[in-house]
Structure 1
């Protein structure tokens, strides 16, 4: 990957655009979130529609890539935390801010109920120690074939066990979302490495004093909010500087959110209030 800006990168293999959630250390190196917003988030500037699809009926699927998940590759219990979090946020007040964003036919992003479509452990292959963008996209496509959902509202989280570090993880970004073309349609997907491996850089102990898993839901929620409003990156809702609804609020206002099942979350941007909100 070649970093093009604070929040955007382009894969050198495929040319695909990815939307990065930068680490806390990267934010700090730029002088804090206010600087990063001026640089890429536009401060209080609202999001603008760029003509592409949004997820009108979001459905989220997780593939836990590799047999290591069941062989000591999940020492912190990330799989359970992820499934519980994704099961809690559909229809929640925390995620409800996305419903104000629409696509060209007037349909708005959905938040009518459960978004968690399921998860499985793919033990038929294992990720390399540093998987490339194309390899992760191929795993997402494999998950899409498993579930048979190629709708614009479907998204696939490629979750990796401890010890797997895609290039840039923990130093430049915590996770990112992108899209890839398959013979059955374009799918949205997320690169979600093992957050505890990056420690405080990706949110560990940022909300709770013994919060090893804090970053799992903060980062996972950030990517989900962005995927629903911009599933094919840079074609949905972004501000004039290229920041999505999660970017504009990254690493601010973190809390154990009663509006998201009590899990640690960050706010998402609301055009209606021109501010970051933890409930809507």
Structure 2
């Protein structure tokens, strides 16, 4: 999963709005839907009975989604409490096939994956997929080599390192249909697309033995006992340098798996209740995709002996189930969330997680040339099902990755990498047109470099690739030599369900509402008593008198190497309280993901002098993110407070947005 950080549920209560109508009417306002109404949007429609893929929970936007262990039942409210200041990702009621679950499968949100349009020049992994294993820390001990060529460290009592190496070595062999499911996904198409045309750049089916690109036992120093997200990202950067991947093109189609040693607690996985996540960062070596892979046997619910083997090899099942999950999601969404996710933020693996073996779309064993490995199925848009196998889809032999629109400072060094992928292995040469003065492209590497001269403004650049067989491909982007934040322009929308259109009128802790964690019944509502800025659903804060604040809460993933973030939303303040001495208020508050401490009040709005009708609000989150560091996840909470015993102000919120660069 993506670092789908579950938002901090700083208070969660189920509030039925019984008796509220009279108080609001007396104040000149109107009441929300009653509990009996319980409207559900069309997206709660029926599910194909043959599919019913399980739906693991998450409450925040995708960065790298937390893949939750299933050691206990996770029905409504079962995991709603905060742990270390952060809600554990949850699973929809009935979706837990674990020993203490009911074994059923439930996914009433059977949504297709949509393409998000790419972030930092990456929508999918377009070239032959490559994995580098990083065994981080002196705790792994001294490495040696076994009879099959695997690196075997002395501090690995369960054999996790060799197991992972065998898995990645085996992909693409022995009729591996699981890898074929991924080949239907592509990039370079319109954002919002559900299917890929034949001429788009598709994920490539791996050649046998080609996926594992290297293993590094980084044992010069101990890994942190509880590594933070920025520390994990820094280790991925160190790995890129170690393996000589020091350009954007060299890192374009690879992922680094940061394996933490036994007994450690990276990103507090044992406290926060997940198994692994994947993410990306912006570095001097280009964008780097990486996975936080804790020592899976340390937590029984992360796949160990999931099929009842009770064997030494079965103890490592999580490295197949969860390792495969994160690998597949990195291929389809390397720079989260620029690739393929559904409207609730789930990725290709999330939608099919933990379906019991034997059920349609359930866990299964894939027989590869290097052994038999347990895997979960993957979501197939083509079939609208969770699939263990699909026909291989092949795109053009030669493709060029999308390139982001960007700004570079005048009279400064420029370095922009183009990345071609040629499935035939032929040599590729590059050329470009429209380059600003002072820049040129290296025909062998595709790197555009030089020193920009003057402020040329926005220019359209076209990059062309030609392989030895005469095949061609091209891509284009806008380059601004001028003032502003250098590098890629702001990426796609970072919030899940920014317009609340997934929302449910009740707090039932399904994936449809958890993106915003409403504090009470009908806070997110389609009520006709007020109106949305667009669409049907909106958030209505201010339904209670003093002592019972309303709130919505979401999490925001930030990216190492980014420097700016802006949060905006549309606000309609409908109020009868115009008192300057005791106004009703709406606050935006930022919280730390780890311990729940308040980073700061970003801004306060009040009812005094308010104008009815939606007005766009925009605030700069950069100073608050800076307090905890880029590459972390923060929680954003909008909370209303009524100064009197009866509500007098309705704060209506819709069409929120966060962009980072």
Q: TM exceeds 0.5?
A: yes
Using the TM superposition, give the Cα deviation of residue 35 of structure 1 relative to its aligned residue in structure 2, in angstroms. 7.8
Using the TM superposition, give the Cα deviation of residue 7 of structure 1 relative to its aligned residue in structure 2, in angstroms. 3.5
- Secondary structure at the counterpart of residue 87 of structure 1: helix
- Secondary structure at the counterpart of residue 140 of structure 1: helix
> CA 1:160–1:123 in structure 2 vs 1: closer, same or farther (change >3 Å)?
same
Using the TM superposition, give the Cα deviation of residue 167 of structure 1 relative to its aligned residue in structure 2, in angstroms. 3.6
1:175 aligns with 2:276: yes
Answer 1 or 2: which has greater helix percent: 1
1:139-176 Cα offsets, whole Å, 9 max, x none, are 01100111233432111000011001124424521000
For residue 20 of structure 1, the aligned residue among 51, 58, 66 is 66
1:152 aligns with 2:252: yes
1:47 aligns with 2:113: yes
- Secondary structure at the counterpart of residue 318 of structure 2: helix
1:205 aligns with 2:305: yes
Q: What is the distance in 1 between the residues matched to 2:7 and 2:202?
A: 30
**What CA RMSD, in Å, does the superposition of the two structures yield over aligned residues?**
2.3
Using the TM superposition, give the Cα deviation of residue 275 of structure 1 relative to its aligned residue in structure 2, in angstroms. 0.7
Higher relative contact order (CA 8 A, sep 6+): 1
Q: Which of 22-31 and 161-170 deviates more?
A: 22-31
Contact 2:124 2:187 in 1 (8 A): yes
Structure 2 spans left out of the alignment, 5+ residues: 9-56, 76-90, 96-103, 143-153, 190-199, 356-361, 391-661
Contact 1:54 1:152 in 2 (8 A): no
Q: What is the distance in 1 between the residues matched to 2:255 and 2:171?
A: 15
> CA 1:190–1:121 in structure 2 vs 1: closer, same or farther (change >3 Å)?
same
Contact 1:229 1:236 in 2 (8 A): yes
> CA 1:241–1:131 in structure 2 vs 1: closer, same or farther (change >3 Å)?
same
For residue 256 of structure 1, the aligned residue among 357, 365, 373 is 365
For residue 327 of structure 2, the aligned residue among 218, 224, 240 is 224
Q: TM-score, normalised by structure 2?
A: 0.39
Answer 1 or 2: which has greater strand percent: 2
1:189-218 Cα offsets, whole Å, 9 max, x none, are 00000000001x101111242211111111
1:185 aligns with 2:286: yes
Residue number in structure 1 paired with 2:378: 268
1:108-158 Cα offsets, whole Å, 9 max, x none, are 111131211111101123211110000010001100111233432111000
> CA 1:35–1:241 in structure 2 vs 1: closer, same or farther (change >3 Å)?
farther
Q: What is the distance in 1 between the residues matched to 2:220 and 2:172?
A: 30
1:103 aligns with 2:173: no
Contact 1:230 1:237 in 2 (8 A): yes
- Secondary structure at the counterpart of residue 182 of structure 2: helix
Count matched residues: 270
Using the TM superposition, give the Cα deviation of residue 257 of structure 1 relative to its aligned residue in structure 2, in angstroms. 1.9
Using the TM superposition, give the Cα deviation of residue 27 of structure 1 relative to its aligned residue in structure 2, in angstroms. 6.8
For residue 88 of structure 1, the aligned residue among 147, 170, 174 is 170
> CA 1:25–1:136 in structure 2 vs 1: closer, same or farther (change >3 Å)?
same
For residue 130 of structure 2, the aligned residue among 44, 54, 59 is 59
Residue number in structure 1 paired with 2:228: 132
> CA 1:215–1:147 in structure 2 vs 1: closer, same or farther (change >3 Å)?
same
Using the TM superposition, give the Cα deviation of residue 90 of structure 1 relative to its aligned residue in structure 2, in angstroms. 3.7
Q: TM-score, normalised by structure 1?
A: 0.88
Contact 1:26 1:172 in 2 (8 A): no
Q: What is the distance in 1 between the residues matched to 2:160 and 2:322?
A: 12
Q: What is the distance in 2 between the residues matched to 1:146 and 1:225?
A: 24
Q: What is the distance in 1 between the residues matched to 2:136 and 2:336?
A: 23
Q: What is the distance in 1 between the residues matched to 2:334 and 2:59?
A: 14
- Secondary structure at the counterpart of residue 22 of structure 1: coil
Using the TM superposition, give the Cα deviation of residue 102 of structure 1 relative to its aligned residue in structure 2, in angstroms. 0.6
Residue number in structure 1 paired with 2:628: none
Q: What is the distance in 2 between the residues matched to 1:121 and 1:77?
A: 14
> CA 1:175–1:27 in structure 2 vs 1: closer, same or farther (change >3 Å)?
farther
Residue number in structure 2 paired with 1:13: none
- Secondary structure at the counterpart of residue 372 of structure 2: coil
